[in-house]
Amino acid sequence: MSLNRLIFPFFILVSLILSGFASSQTLPKEEVDALRAVATALKKSNWNFNVDPCDLTSSEGGWRNLNATSKQFADTVTCNCSSTVCHVTSIVLKAQSLQGSLPKEFAGLPFLQEIDLSRNYLNGSIPPEWGTLPLVNISLLANRISGPIPKEIGNITTLKTLVLESNQISGNLPPELGNLQNIDKILLGTNYLTGDIPSTFSKLTTLIDFRISDNQFTGTIPDFIQNWTKLFKLAIQASGLVGPIPSTIGTLVKLTDLRISDLNGPSSPFPPLQNMTSIHTLILRNSNLTGELPDYLGSITALKLLDLSFNKLSGPIPATYSNLWNVDNIYFTSNMLNGEVPRWAVDKGNNIDLTYNNFSKDRTTKECSLRNANMFSSTTTSPLAANNYSNVACLSYYICPKTFYGLHINCGGDELTVNGTMYDSDTWEKPFHDGSRTGWVSSNTGNFLDDERDLKVTTLWTNTSELKTAEPSLYTQARLSAISLTYLALCLGNGSYTVKLHFAETMFGNNETYSSLGRRFFDIYVQGKLVVKDFDIVSEAKGAGRVVVKSFQVMITNGMLEIRLFWAGKGTQAIPVRGSYGVLISAVSVDPNFNVGGTSIGIIVGAAVASLVFLVLLIVGILWCRGCFRPKSQMEKDFKNLDFQISSFSLKQIKDATDNFYPANKIGEGGFGPVHKGKLPNGTLIAVKQLSSKSNQGNREFLNEIGMISALEHPHLVKLYGCCVEGGQLLLIYEYLVNNSLARALFGPLETQIRLDWPIRQKICVGIARGLAYLHEESRLKIVHRDIKATNVLLDKELNPKISDFGLAKLDEQEDTHMSTRVAGTYGYMAPEYAMRGHLTDKADVYSFGVVALEIVHGRGNTSARSKAETFYLLDWVHVLREQNKLMEVVDPRLGTDYNREEAMKMIQIGILCTSLVPSDRPSMSTVVSMLEGHSTVDVEELLENSFSRGNEKDEESVRAMKRHFAMIGGQEMTNVTKHTTNNDGPFTSSSSSSANAGDLYPVKLDSAYWNSRV
């Protein structure tokens, strides 16, 4: 017993010691809870909370992967532990296919220094709450992050690295970022950022790496960059900024990598860079540089890449450049350089491109390619301008083997026969390829920078994934180019041809991972003419791995056809890995639009001439009798001069479809003119929008609508089937939407209303937001609609919303922070800054959306006249209810209690936020989508409070002035209202005043008597 009494206390003591040791290093419960919330937001499912997150030696529990073999892949949570407690200091989750949103709950980890979520599929906006953390590194490369950069990031004075490349971030750069006193790197490339570079950035004197390529900034490159004297790398390619390059850039003597390209603005001389003696990468491409090449570049022996292509530089290559013989790549492409090509460039140069210049025709330039020098068309700026390939020095001795009546190239692939047509091989490795035995040559300019792709030949790509096409063999290989790719046919028979360029995006994925987030843009030139700007394969083909063929009609008159594809600095460069950008093409096919047989051309011509006179006389007689020799209207001429990618209908086809515009088929009457229902021979129902001869809109709006919609396609935009421009008739042919407009369904006459339960209203609101997000941020053209309202939202048979009426839409000009434009739109939906001052940005559409969102919740229009002396304003009423904390009274009483209170409250709050008087307080539409779908971590109520705290009496007075202005207009218009008949498909009237008579497909006007009956 005595022994037991001795052993038992000893056991207890040992247990306590061991227990104390085991619990001496623990993660506080608050941080564990924060990690749980982070996992939920990120949709990170493999963290095991029964395992210590801070055991750095263990790979159990999913807290770290100790066997990662790629620097792109990382899965690690790191802690800093003292003798008693641990704290999470780093979370690195790279390439994990995470599909959640950015967690504001990171703020619950007060010792967190690093957030690296690169290459995932995360959405939402950057939470302002991160601004409270002692972060050193934030990296969100290659995700779906949207919305603005929160100003609170400027509070993180410990921050050294901010990497937000390859996302969908929008808005202006917050001036508060200028407070980042320790920042080393700011990488913002490939987003939708706008505005000037804030002057506060002049204080960022610790910067060593600054990249803002592929954005929509405005203004010039600021002079204050001279303050960034520690800078090693500067990238401003296709940023939206304009030139000239400031001379103060010469003070950045530590630069080793300078990339400026695709810079609009006035011409300017070569900047003074003579003191940048350490620079190894110098790109000043397509930047409107004039004058001669500076001698001093020849003394910068550190150079490894020199790209001065696509400028207006003239004069000879200086003798001092002989010191550059060992530079890896030199591009003088497409300038006006003259004189002799120096022998060092040919004899000793590594890779030098002299194409498209005005060098002397001599023994050197008679070769298109010699050793490592590409001299194709080096004696003329364009082989087409030379009018004959014999004037291109290196082709002057070329004799066509025969006349070819077609051209077929399997770009990047071997010789291939598809459907009986043989496609030539195109697997060459060098920049110039002589395919003259088959009547064509090609030239490829550029090398892929920062290339992490594992390719034997960097300009050849082989697809390994499934292709969604019946003929995958033609799209298995592709030709790539980092800058410019030219195919030149030399021996075509003269006549009319159809040029088809075949594309399939095979480098990006088509799944919900970061590899599907790549964006590729390039320009297409045919016969020296720009035919497609910012061509996007994925957008045109409606997905990666899908085929799209672009067709162009050309007339060959000198046997030559030039096809050139040019990368203008836009698109992602790091998805799936760095070096993934530029031009990609799968095949070229050129076919004649005339018969090519065995009969000699002389006999064909003779027979044709013999019969031509008779045929012409016969046809002229018939057409004369039919009155077909009327002069073409200016509208027809304008239309034919525009390259709209839509179908053209004849007037006869439309008359047949609408029973000659039978009155019973009339389904609407707007400012543009009447709308008729019709049916095509294949059974397709259509809505035909007809320009009235009395319309106050007219040709400009009509062509504007064609131009806008022909470039757009989205599930939440009305589909345009085609148009008819014939004689005095101007018609648009849309898909027919059986449920008419949202306004008609919500607050039209009782017999036309549709019971819209809450899930349907939520679906409609989200759909409208998605359509606007596409217009503002995702489409090739960035478009401001200008007239978003309930009558311009149509509903299909499943009550899916589709935005219509683009007659007032404007391209979002990238050169300006806003457009000052003639005010056009509908009162009640117009943003104050636009209605009163004509200042137009995408935030005007956001305001209009906010009004529509409140109408969807409330079930009635935004304005209505109860009497001559009293007008009801929905927005005013909502603000009153907010002050009284009674916002739920906004909800349509017809819903009863059968609705989601949380979703309804969020929709109301979003509507209020979107209608903020301060445009910068309104969220982007992509952020709105995230908030409505519940993916965003943004606190809407907090944003509302901040917005209201910034409001002022001046803003409110502007709104009152706007109301008085439109009330006066409305009073004048009420005396001239025209009454329209109504049928089951037909129109009804709305009280909203419309400036410039914006046309509605299905217009709505509700008089006060109707409203009084609803109260």
Say which residues have a Cβ less than 8 Å from residue 213's Cβ, sequence separation at least 6. 189, 190, 235, 236, 237, 238, 239, 259, 569, 573
Cis peptide upstream of residue 294 (ω within 30 degrees of 0): no
Q: Is 544 exposed, middle or buried (0-12, 13-18, 19+ CB in 10 A)?
A: buried
Q: Among 209, 353, 426, 787, which one carries the catalytic annotation?
A: 787
Is 787 assigned a catalytic role?
yes
**Could you tell me how many helices (H) and strands (E) the chain has, helices first?**
18, 54
Q: Give the whole-angstrom CA distance, residue 985 versus residue 687.
A: 12
Token output for 312: 């207006």
Report DSSP state, residue 744. Answer: H
SS3 content of the chain, % helix, strand, coil (to 5): 30, 25, 45
Torsion of CA 610, 616, 617, 618, to 10 degrees: 100
In this structure, are residues 851 and 911 in contact, taking their beta carbons and an 8 Å threshold?
yes
In this structure, are residues 89 and 112 in contact, taking their beta carbons and an 8 Å threshold?
yes
In this structure, are residues 906 and 930 in contact, taking their beta carbons and an 8 Å threshold?
no
Residue 964: how many other CB atoms lie within 10 Å: 10
Say which residues have a Cβ less than 8 Å from residue 309's Cβ, sequence separation at least 6. 285, 286, 331, 332, 333, 334, 335, 353, 445, 483, 484
Helix axes 874-883, 842-858, angle to 10 degrees: 70
Q: Give the whole-angstrom CA distance, residue 907 versus residue 765.
A: 8
Q: Give the whole-angstrom CA distance, residue 1015 versus residue 992.
A: 19
Distance of CA 278 to CAs 274, 301, 318, Å? 10, 8, 21
Q: List residues bridging with 489 in a β-sheet.
A: 440, 561
Using DSSP, state whether 858 is helix, strand or coil.
Answer: helix
Q: List residues bridging with 432 in a β-sheet.
A: 443
In this structure, are residues 997 and 671 in contact, taking their beta carbons and an 8 Å threshold?
yes
What is the bridge-based pairing of β-strands 720-726 and 729-735? antiparallel
Q: Give the whole-angstrom CA distance, residue 537 versus residue 581.
A: 12
Distance of CA 522 to CAs 569, 571, 815, Å? 8, 9, 20
Token output for 233: 């790398």
Amino acid at 790: A
Amino acid at 881: L
In this structure, are residues 580 and 518 in contact, taking their beta carbons and an 8 Å threshold?
yes
Using DSSP, state whether 373 is helix, strand or coil.
Answer: strand
Nearest to 539 by CA among 548, 530, 531: 548
Token output for 239: 């940023």
| DSSP-derived secondary structure for 239-252 | -S-B-PPPGGGGG-
Q: Give the whole-angstrom CA distance, residue 383 versus residue 364.
A: 18
The separation between CA 835 and the C-alpha centre of its own chain, rounded to angstroms, equals 27
Cis peptide upstream of residue 801 (ω within 30 degrees of 0): no
Element (H, E) at 766: helix 758-773
Phi, then psi, of 6 in degrees rounded to 5: -80, -40
> E strands within 727-856?
729-735, 783-784, 793-795, 801-803, 810-811, 819-820, 825-826, 839-840
Active site residues: 787
